[in-house]
């Protein structure tokens, strides 16, 4: 079921109606049933996956004791990670592709965090609460990857609350605009150029590379905003997953505090720190950091067609950039900050080529063709026949950057949706109506997928 389909809004109305009518003690179960229905309706095979993963997780939770907290929980973690590896890389070693469901990684990562936190904190929760924590449908396909200490305390107070619903509407509208208006408007230009990079004009490849940077940002952060908004409707606050990443001043800032924040924290807590973090000296710290980035690239790499070496190169390149930055001073002046932001964005831009290209050889072809054309770029720009799709894409990107730069300058990390909701009533309603009008006029309402649901 897609967020852009009419059936989804009917589903949401039923969910909210049931939440309002049912007594508090039944609300967790209601949301759990509706979440499973949302996830499994497109393909009943997903139900088998969901039940299997849930059974392993709940069994692991039940087997732990206060004296032996990792009893069962450690075994469950190993099984979950083994299933994830099997689903992603079976074909790479000649085994039949098991056809892992969308969002498998996010389900497994959430379950691993649940089991690990239960063991560390000697916590216990009801099976219904634990199951809803894993299966809550807005975050199921692409995060955020929540921790139990964030979600569990909120479950006893589920319900439709006017203030939270108003904030949820702002997040929902912002997310839909990012996805349906911006990301899906940029996608055709990217797809056309990257489909035939050996024959596409270098200028087309350059434009597509810039467009993809904003396509993936608006697609992924749009999903996160929608997840936050839908959760607020039922009284749940999810973690922030993006913080205007293209305003980062370093690649470290980009990955540590601005892009896919909850995944970064997951790798920090369950990979980097267990490896020793920064406690074992500078050399060990460098090795640990590179290990995290390589594992992140490997996580993206398994998509049912063997190992995607381009994703591994993308992870290694980002790791190398983070390690290299440790030798550079931090920016102190405004001019230096602006320059660092521009440099950081273009470094990330180069890495996105490896992420988006079909394979490693194609990525090199794209970079080589763009690099060869850069000396004559002014003449190429002057002679290039820009289309309406290009001009509309420039307009959307410029509008996005103006809004984000202004918000960052005046309000720091506060999300735009929070600023809209906190504004005076006329401004708040004007913002909502403007977003609705933009969605109706320029939204791509076809049944499109979110990029990160594939991982």
Catalytic site residues?
Answer: 300
Q: Is 98 strand, coil or helix?
A: coil
256 and 426 Cβ atoms separated by less than 8 Å: no
Nearest to 388, CA basis, from 197, 115, 203, 185: 185
Query: Peptide bond before 144: cis, by omega within 30 degrees of 0?
Result: yes
Phi, psi of 71 (to 5 degrees): -60, 120
Please tell me the distance from the alpha carbon of residue 74 to that of residue 116, in angstroms, as a whole number.
8
Sign of the four-CA dihedral 355, 356, 357, 358: positive
Give the CA count within 13 Å in the CB-facing half-sphere of 263.
Answer: 24
Please tell me the distance from the alpha carbon of residue 137 to that of residue 403, in angstroms, as a whole number.
29
Other beta carbons within 10 angstroms of residue 116's beta carbon come to 21
Residue partners of 70: CB distance under 8 A and separation at least 6:
64, 119
Sign of the four-CA dihedral 182, 184, 189, 193: positive
Please count the residues of the chain: 455
Nearest to 206, CA basis, from 221, 220, 218, 194: 194
Other beta carbons within 10 angstroms of residue 441's beta carbon come to 8
Tell me the two tokens of residue 403. Answer: 């809004």
Angle between helices 334-356 and 360-373 (to 10 degrees): 130
Helices and strands (H and E) in the chain: how many: 20, 0
122 and 138 Cβ atoms separated by less than 8 Å: no
DSSP state of 68: S
């Amino acid at each position: 079921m897609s967020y852009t389909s009419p059936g989804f809004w009917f589903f949401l109305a039923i969910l909210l109606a049931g939440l309002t009518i049912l007594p508090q003690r039944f609300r967790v179960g209601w949301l759990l049933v509706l979440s499973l229905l949302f996830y499994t309706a497109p393909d009943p095979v997903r139900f088998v996956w969901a039940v299997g993963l849930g059974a392993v997780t709940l069994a692991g939770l039940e087997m732990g004791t206060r004296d032996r907290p990792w009893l069962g929980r450690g075994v469950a973690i190993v099984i979950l990670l083994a299933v994830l590896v099997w689903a992603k890389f079976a074909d790479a070693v000649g085994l039949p592709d098991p056809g892992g469901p969308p969002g498998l990684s996010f389900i497994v990562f959430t379950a691993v965090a649940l089991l690990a936190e239960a063991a560390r904190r000697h916590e216990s929760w009801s099976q219904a609460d634990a199951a809803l924590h894993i299966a809550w449908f807005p975050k199921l396909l692409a995060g955020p990857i929540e921790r139990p200490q964030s979600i569990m305390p909120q479950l006893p107070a589920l319900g439709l609350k006017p203030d939270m619903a108003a904030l949820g509407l702002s997040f929902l509208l912002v997310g839909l605009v990012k996805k349906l208006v911006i990301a899906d408007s940029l996608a055709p230009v990217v797809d056309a150029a990257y489909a035939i990079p050996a024959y596409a004009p270098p200028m087309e490849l350059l434009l597509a590379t810039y467009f993809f940077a904003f396509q993936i940002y608006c697609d992924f952060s749009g999903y996160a905003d929608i997840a936050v908004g839908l959760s607020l409707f039922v009284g749940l606050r999810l973690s922030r997953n993006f913080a205007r990443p293209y305003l980062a001043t370093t690649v470290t800032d980009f990955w540590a505090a601005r892009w896919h924040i909850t995944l970064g924290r997951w790798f920090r807590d369950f990979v980097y720190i267990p490896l020793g973090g920064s406690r074992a000296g500078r050399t060990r710290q460098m090795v640990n950091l590179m290990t995290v980035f390589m594992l992140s690239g490997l996580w993206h790499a398994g998509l049912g067609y063997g190992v995607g070496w381009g994703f591994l190169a993308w992870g290694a390149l980002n790791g190398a950039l983070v390690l290299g930055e440790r030798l550079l001073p931090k920016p102190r002046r405004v001019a230096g900050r602006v320059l660092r932001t521009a440099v950081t964005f273009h470094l990330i831009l180069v890495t996105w080529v490896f992420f988006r290209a079909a394979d490693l050889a194609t990525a090199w072809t794209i970079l080589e063709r763009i690099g060869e054309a850069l000396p004559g770029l002014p003449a190429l720009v002057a002679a290039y026949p820009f289309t309406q799709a290009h001009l509309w894409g420039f307009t959307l990107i410029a509008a996005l950057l103006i809004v984000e730069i202004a918000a960052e300058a005046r309000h720091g990390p506060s999300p735009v949706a929070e600023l809209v909701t906190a504004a005076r009533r006329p401004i708040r309603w004007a913002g909502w109506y403007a977003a609705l009008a933009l969605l109706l006029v320029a939204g791509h309402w076809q049944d499109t997928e979110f990029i990160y649901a594939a991982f």
